[in-house]
Amino acid sequence: MAEEAEIIYEVRDRIARIVFNRPDKLNAITRSMQVELRQRVAEASTDPAVRVIVLTGAGRGFCAGADMNLLSGISAQGGDAPKAAPPEPPAVSNPFGANLGELYQGRHTYLLQCPKPIIAAINGPAAGLGLVLALYADVRLAAAGARFTTSFSQRGLIAEHGSSWLLPRLVGHANALDLLMTSRKFGAEEALRMGLVNQVYDDADFEAAVTEYARMLADTVSPRSLAVIKAQVYAALVQGFPEAMSIADAAMEASFGRPDFKEGVAHFMEKRPARFADLGKY
């Protein structure tokens, strides 16, 4: 019997779904899964059939963090477990705005550099590295039964992979310190109150709600606008206001000459669905 894929990738209705597929382990992530995740995001980022990416988990969990066998191996080696040379990672870039690769350099920053919106559909537990990956998404939608924990301090670890920078910008530094220092578990409603997630949906309605949100992005707005806005927002986090304003003014001026602006006005005036061009047309 063929071994089941650890990550499932499918494209339907201009939505790419990347699914962590180790449900018996609450989708704890392995090194090979991290490599494939980047490969799949790179594939989706250049596929003209994809406008939105949804990242989620199979079964009842989103991602329980790094596989404990991997962590045990590191512990047994005294923190110096041998590391195989990783394959050359595929490039992920957003050519429609600031070069985020120059501003954000790290293992998972390719998720920020992807020109297409990434939705973390948090259907269940999101812990440790699983929570970190959700932080790198552009939008986080949670099922009512989802549970969260940073978990690092309870493993003798620290706030890894940029979470000490990302988390305070979402929930404020006081909440971030609480979550990082205690590693306490918390639910979807608290995550919503803190601003960690954008929306919470009933478990029974969750998949349909995520699909509806993704289709809104895929069908009703300009892919080029999304790519530019995404680059603007992440670049602005490390820019001063005058620089961000100047860049926005130039980008707006350029937008007036793009076909998407003409289509944006036309479909509104004609009261019909939008027919925006795919990113590959630019």
Task: Say if residue 227 is in the same domain as residue 206.
Answer: no
Q: Are 128 and 62 in contact (CB under 8 A)?
A: no
Q: Are 197 and 140 in contact (CB under 8 A)?
A: yes
Q: In the prediction, which pLDDT does 150 show? A: 97
Residue 89 has φ and ψ, to the nearest 5°, of: -70, 145
Burial class (CB in 10 A: 0-12, 13-18, 19+), 15: buried
Residue 2 has pLDDT above 80, yes or no: no
Q: What is the pLDDT of residues 203-227, one digit of tens each?
A: 999 999 999 999 999 999 999 999 9
Residue 175 has pLDDT above 80, yes or no: yes
Place of tokens 């009933």: 202
Question: 1 or 56: which carries more pLDDT confidence?
Answer: 56
Task: Say if residue 177 is in the same domain as residue 119.
Answer: yes
Task: Say if residue 165 is in the same domain as residue 237.
Answer: no
pLDDT confidence band for 34 (50 / 70 / 90): very high
Q: What is the pLDDT of residues 125-169, one digit of tens each?
A: 999 999 999 999 999 999 999 999 999 999 999 999 999 999 999
Task: Say if residue 121 is in the same domain as residue 226.
Answer: no
Q: What is the pLDDT of residues 237-272, one digit of tens each?
A: 999 999 999 999 999 999 999 999 999 999 999 999
Is residue 1 included in any domain, yes or no? no
Q: In the prediction, which pLDDT does 282 show? A: 59
Domain count, the chain: 2
Q: Which of 217, 244, 267 corresponds to the end of one domain?
A: 217
Q: In the prediction, which pLDDT does 102 show? A: 87
Place of tokens 């954000």: 104
Q: What is the pLDDT of residues 99-109, one digit of tens each?
A: 888 889 999 99
Residue 86 has pLDDT above 70, yes or no: no
Q: What is the pLDDT of residues 114-136, one digit of tens each?
A: 999 999 999 999 999 999 999 99
**Domain of 257: which CATH number?**
1.10.12.10
Give residue 237's domain range: 222-281
Task: Say if residue 207 is in the same domain as residue 240.
Answer: no
- Give residues with Cβ within 8 angstroms of 225, minimum separation 6: 255, 260
d(CA 195, CA 146) in angstroms, rounded, equals 15
Task: Say if residue 203 is in the same domain as residue 274.
Answer: no
Task: Say if residue 147 is in the same domain as residue 275.
Answer: no
Task: Say if residue 171 is in the same domain as residue 259.
Answer: no
Task: Say if residue 29 is in the same domain as residue 49.
Answer: yes
Is residue 2 included in any domain, yes or no? no
Q: Are 21 and 58 in contact (CB under 8 A)?
A: yes
Task: Say if residue 198 is in the same domain as residue 129.
Answer: yes
Q: What is the pLDDT of residues 179-211, one digit of tens each?
A: 999 999 999 999 999 999 999 999 999 999 999
